[in-house]
Structure 1
Amino acid sequence: MAELDAGQLDRAAGVLLGAACGDALGVPYESTPPQVTRTVVPEMVGGGLGDYAPGEYSDDTQMAVCIAKVAATGVDLRTEEALRAIAANFVEWFPHATNIGISTCLVVRPALGRPDPHVAMRAASAALHAETGRTAGNGSLMRTAIVALAYLDDVAGMAEAARAISELTHFDPLAGDACVLWCAGVRRAVLDGTFDGVREGLALLPEERRGDWARWLTEAEQNPPHHFYRNGYVVRALQAAWSAITRTPVPATDPASPVNGHYRNALIAAIRAGSDTDTVAAIAGALLGARWGVGAIPSQWREAVHGWPGLRADDLIQLALSTARSGAGASSTSSTSSAPQAHASAWWW
């Protein structure tokens, strides 16, 4: 991989941290209708569906960390070895999750104690889809942006890896499509400092679905985030995040500066969409962090953010940079407790 310059490294460092801060900022407002959140000024006060501590991120970032700990070793994430390791990390994380989507819960639980957890998860995901037809949730999109950093020099490999990791838990190809598009956006943002990659990612999708996704992106650009309120569905989650990013003005005063406020203002807009606020803000935060870098993230958020397995901002930055450099530098933490239950108000999607 070509050596990254200082600006690219800063933007790469912003991917996981940007998502985590969006996640923690959205936690207190999850399942709140947009009529309530539309004027709120979000704060990292904790609470939410998992009774989180102030600044604590949720399952969105926790699952991203599970992927990042593998990606940071430099392994090709498309291999069975890597997918097994990611699935094993999901199994390790599962007992510590305080709030988890129903579909993810139903898919990860059968893999507990299995020597081939990735195989068990894929089988459970396929079975769930055959039974319900409802596996196009936002649970893979929320966690997959880190994959882009592992394939900055290989866009086709990135698309394959994003889809393979999505399919561990979400069988519906729309979930994989969304991960491909968002990773394409993150990759381009890190390399070139633009948001152009999301639409460029359309070329990476199966031809028969490109038109639908192009239309859905246009709808997001034309409507406010709260228009996509039922954002447990992956299409609407992506639309809500994309709407918040594209419809939030970049301040005219030195728009190239990472401290221009676009990161903060777009996250506020994402949370004001209501419903799955932590997830939409995590999705948006990853792309915003990739575009503007660590310097765009308010210092009080960087200082407060933390979560499983005992990580803080510097740890998230290191995971992201190790992934971007295809280097090592992450270690896993193991412990056990009782398995979580799916939250009653979680979206079926």
Structure 2
Amino acid sequence: MAYPLQAQDRIRGVLTGMASGDALGAGYEFNAPMPESAEISMIGGGLGNFAPGEWTDDTSMAIVIARGLLGSGGRFDAAASDYMIREWAKWAVQAPDVGNQTRAVLSHAQRVASEGGRTEPNTADALSGSEELHRRTGRSGGNGSLMRTAPVALAYLSEPPAAAFHAAVEISKLTHFDDEAAEACGLWTVAIQHAILTGELEIRAGLPLLNPERAMTWEQRIEQAENRQPREFSRNGWVVEAFQGAWSAITNAKETSKEHHLVSALEAAVRGGVDTDTVAAIAGSLLGAARGYSSIPLPWMEIVHGWPSLRIQHLLDISTELAG
């Protein structure tokens, strides 16, 4: 499908915006909230001792989703699902920074595969781990599936919002059993889809796809985000507060121009503290979808890179192919 030039710019902004936020926040992960005067830059370091401009697990896991969807003609099916689990498991062995919940599920999946005489885990192995973790701890609502959901919006760009929502939910469930994580992924994915097609930042676009009670719950959460600052969502390892922190950064940032809005919002997400790379990556995917690749500063694009030995041009190519 051919998209207008402005929409093409927004398509190119999704993964690059996500990777930019990810790399910007990498060096500040799990720091306390910072004052508004604090200077934010791509300093590197952090939990994985990343190089300046290097993205973390957020973007790396999203790349696997993108490649899995591309291998299945842009649709989430059994083959794409198995690919994601298989490649995430390989990546997690050598990744410097993997979320605790994601690591636990992938480790379970690998163990089940090994016990069954198989060298590689599959979807069933991961789903059993995701559910087992939830049943055992009651805590599977981490932010690790929301951070990686952006490629789904690109793959389902020409499909109805309900289709994008459903795919995002199913991919979330691979590692995050909790319905809160699934709903957050669905809502954020539909918002990205809407932003690409219209240029509008409308996080409520997916609310009609929830039942009325859940829609009301998320409406209240969205209103809280719009009336508070990112630092007030300090439990942002939880998917709900990561969602709120990202939306708070977007809606409370000054918007004097497209570029200024993207930069100021991502800096605000990082100043909010704690899981800085993830909140900024989540915000960056939606900001890039609305403001476009042209809004991302060139100095960032020159240094942003990461696993598996990719740079910005690779993300641009993946984005265009997914949306096509």
Short-chain TM bin:
over 0.9
Equivalent residue of 1:170, what SS? coil
Partner of 1:80: 78
Report sequence identity in percent.
44
- Paired residue type of 2:293: V
Contact 1:39 / 1:272 at 8 angstroms: preserved in 2? no
**TM-score normalised by the chain length of structure 2:** 0.94
List alignment gaps of at least 5 residues for structure 1.
326-349
Contact 1:18 / 1:288 at 8 angstroms: preserved in 2? yes
Contact 1:73 / 1:323 at 8 angstroms: preserved in 2? no
Cα deviation, 1:115-170, whole Å, max 9, x if unaligned, reads: 55211111100000001110001000000111001111221211111000000000
Task: Return the alpha-carbon distance in structure 1 between the equivalents of residues 199 and 231 of structure 2.
Answer: 27
Equivalent residue of 1:40, what SS? coil
Q: Compare 183-192 and 91-100 and name the one that shifted more.
A: 91-100
Partner of 1:283: 282
- Paired residue type of 2:200: T
Partner of 2:170: 164
Task: Return the alpha-carbon distance in structure 2 between the equivalents of residues 13 and 86 of structure 1.
Answer: 22
Task: Return the alpha-carbon distance in structure 1 between the equivalents of residues 54 and 35 of structure 2.
Answer: 20
Partner of 2:187: 181
- Paired residue type of 1:96: Q
Task: Return the alpha-carbon distance in structure 2 between the equivalents of residues 162 and 37 of structure 1.
Answer: 35
CA deviation after TM superposition for structure 1 residue 76, in Å: 4.8
Equivalent residue of 1:50, what SS? coil
Contact 1:72 / 1:320 at 8 angstroms: preserved in 2? no
Contact 1:225 / 1:243 at 8 angstroms: preserved in 2? yes
CA deviation after TM superposition for structure 1 residue 273, in Å: 0.7
Contact 1:73 / 1:322 at 8 angstroms: preserved in 2? no
Equivalent residue of 2:53, what SS? coil
CA deviation after TM superposition for structure 1 residue 312, in Å: 0.3
Contact 1:77 / 1:83 at 8 angstroms: preserved in 2? no
Partner of 2:131: 126
Task: Return the alpha-carbon distance in structure 2 between the equivalents of residues 233 and 72 of structure 1.
Answer: 29
Partner of 1:337: none
Which consecutive aligned stretches of 4+ in structure 1 deviate over 6 angstroms post-superposition? Answer: none
Contact 2:69 / 2:76 at 8 angstroms: preserved in 1? no
List alignment gaps of at least 5 residues for structure 2.
none
**TM-score normalised by the chain length of structure 1:** 0.88
Among residues 245, 248, 257, which one is paired with 1:243 in the alignment?
248
CA deviation after TM superposition for structure 1 residue 58, in Å: 0.4
Equivalent residue of 1:49, what SS? coil
Partner of 2:294: 295
Q: Structure 2 matches for 1:59-74, cutoff 5 A?
A: 59-73=57-71
Cα deviation, 1:2-49, whole Å, max 9, x if unaligned, reads: 421111111111111110010000011000111x35432211111001
Q: CA RMSD in A?
A: 1.3
Contact 1:74 / 1:150 at 8 angstroms: preserved in 2? no
Cα deviation, 1:95-119, whole Å, max 9, x if unaligned, reads: 2210111111100112235555211
Task: Return the alpha-carbon distance in structure 1 between the equivalents of residues 102 and 180 of structure 2.
Answer: 16
Task: Return the alpha-carbon distance in structure 2 between the equivalents of residues 125 and 41 of structure 1.
Answer: 39
Q: Compare 151-160 and 127-136 and name the one that shifted more.
A: 151-160
- Paired residue type of 2:56: S
- Paired residue type of 2:86: A
CA deviation after TM superposition for structure 1 residue 71, in Å: 2.3
Query: Number of paired residues?
Result: 316
Cα deviation, 1:248-299, whole Å, max 9, x if unaligned, reads: 1211xxx4xx43x111010011111100000000000000111111111111
CA deviation after TM superposition for structure 1 residue 72, in Å: 2.9
